[in-house]
Amino acid sequence: MPEAPWWKTAVVYQIYPRSFADSTADGVGDLEGIRQHLDHLEWLGVDAIWLSPFFTSPMADFGYDVADYCDVDPIFGTLADFDRLLADAHARGIRVLIDWVPNHSSDRHPWFVESRSSRDNPKRDWYIWRDGTPDQTPNNWSAAFGGKVWTWDEATSQWYLHLFLPEQPDLNWRNPEVVAAMHDTLRFWLDRGVDGFRMDVIHGIVKRADLADLPVDKHHAPDRFDEPAVHANLREIRALIDGYPGDRTSVGEVYILSTAKVAEYYGQGDELHMAFNFPPLYAPWDAAKWRTRIDRVVEELDPRDAWPTWVLSNHDNPRHRTRYGGSEARARAAAVLLLTLRGTPFLYAGEELGLEDAVIPKEREVDPAGRDICRAPIPWTAAADHGWGVEDPWLPWPPEPDVRNADVLRADEASILHLYRRILAARKGSPALQLGAWSPLPAPPTVLAYSRVLGDDRRIVLVNFGDAPVAVSVDVETVVEVASDGLGEGEGYAGTVAADSAVILR
């Protein structure tokens, strides 16, 4: 096994704290609830956890509107609770990434309260203000969740910019004081011992200077942003993180649906360590579409020596089992796909239980962007409260919580939970699956076939996206030709891969 940073061989498990586990029986998940379930994550075999925001917040966007970057919201616990969670995770060999929200703060953050207080306040320029009239916005941009990106402030007779909710004013990254203050928030958590950051909307932190109208209005469009300035800031952030020991890391939310553009945010190995590449997340359950998405990753990232990431579900998108049609067989095959591609997989809490999206009655909807369905609480037991101490938590349960919970599935060695555990163990035992070269193999149209090879360790993965069994044959000549490494004289594989099924061959 060659030397490599830990994050290249890791499987990262995303936790949405509100929905993971509740230690206080108030219906909302918290940091102590996460700590109490680290045994589950250690048993499962994940290498790191990423915690969505738990900072002080009025919760207009459930923590992505930060009122204090250096403290824990009381609903989730205290800094002491975080320190215990971090220490216990590290004791189990589990790294901890936290969410960093640099594009915007809450409108309740003391910085914005000062900025809004008067036009001549020293922090006025910490946010983006523009002149105008109450009936004419400075430009035609739209906000991510609908409506304008501008809100009129009656007290000071100016507009302020917010790419998201009005409660989330955008910070002005052209102001050196803002840059220094945000760097200090990184240092606060790095000094505390976190292993890295998931960086929210990182590609958008510096807006174009002219704030000009756009002919095509897309809320994440790259032409809204000053890309050279963003890249310059990323290089400074990278230098800051790399100045700490222990291979600290960053993964950026670069919400651009172009793998070629995403690749630019790795810089020359001096910007993001990793970046989320969203086109595969939105690919349908189709072999040809996935083959195209993977080819783009190879073509765009490999020349930069940029390490890929893979994700099928997260807190912002429908769970992949639901998105792929609801079949557990398909969810199992997707698990094999996610965990055998070259790169770092990010596993969303609940995928290992095969969860589907929840059905949220209209009167229970709370998220302005309609993302409640993928944020339903994780069921831990078959009891009426499913291990939460309350039967009716902040959101309704996902489907079948009586049988699709951690306790019941752990008792069944044929369950999808055990499948995830076996695949994670297979990754840990295989240098090829962790760091090996990826090469496509010839296969029938509905089958995605590829090899992973590192030295003497060789794996072949076959994923049948079709609704019928398919006969597949992989011979030694094919492997020699494509992977430049054979399986051994006279060896090969011929067999049938079931519909919506996958196999890993050694």
Catalytic site residues? 200, 253
Residue 215: HSE in the Cβ half-sphere, 13 Å Cα cutoff:
0
For 126-189, give the DSSP string. Answer: GB-EE--BTTB-SS--B-TTSSBSEEEETTTTEEEE-SS-TTSPBB-TTSHHHHHHHHHHHHHH
Using CA atoms, how far apart are residues 444 and 448, in angstroms rounded to an integer?
Answer: 8
H or E stretch including 427?
helix 416-428
Using CA atoms, how far apart are residues 327 and 319, in angstroms rounded to an integer?
Answer: 12
Q: Are 433 and 340 in contact (CB under 8 A)?
A: yes
Q: Are 452 and 461 in contact (CB under 8 A)?
A: yes
What six digits make up the tokens of 476? 């030694």
Q: Are 250 and 241 in contact (CB under 8 A)?
A: yes
Strand pairing partners for 151?
160
Q: Are 437 and 454 in contact (CB under 8 A)?
A: yes
Which residue type occupies 348? Y
